[in-house]
Amino acid sequence: MTLDKVKMLEYCNEFSKNTLMETLKIEYIDAGEGFLVAKMPVNSAVHQPMGLLHGGASVALAESVGSAASHFFINDKEQEVRGIEISANHLKSIREGVVYGTARIIHKGRTLHLWEIKVTDEAGNLISLCKLTNMVLTKEKNKN
């Protein structure tokens, strides 16, 4: 795979418009062979009632970055990606700042992709460790 980092990031940020990723202010910021990084601000919009980053927001970041990363291994004119399983261990809390989701490919099969996503704070502390399985599907032809 030939990597054009700028085009990859533009593509990810463009398809995030008018979605949950835009609502959560997730921004794709780095990419390379086998990895993709996004960031998300931590503020009251993503807090749980105790004023901490909501675990669901961490999982949304993880699934967003892992699913986006799978797009770089498929033919998006003929195939599409669906997340079929995600697990998360929340290890540390954070009240404010920025968290980063870094997805790294563990297994790249023809129909399944397995990703490890580390959610870290600005100091590099591990906030959540997630695992995402994506299925690669053939797009259905338009039925008229």
Instruction: Out of 10, 33, 63, 80, pick the active-site residue.
Output: 63
* 24/22 Cα distance (integer angstroms): 5
Quote the longest CA-to-CA distance of the chain: 53
Residues 6+ apart with CB under 8 A from 114: 105, 106, 107, 131, 132, 133, 134
63 is catalytic: yes
**Which of helix, strand or coil describes residue 100?**
strand
- Residues with active-site annotation: 63
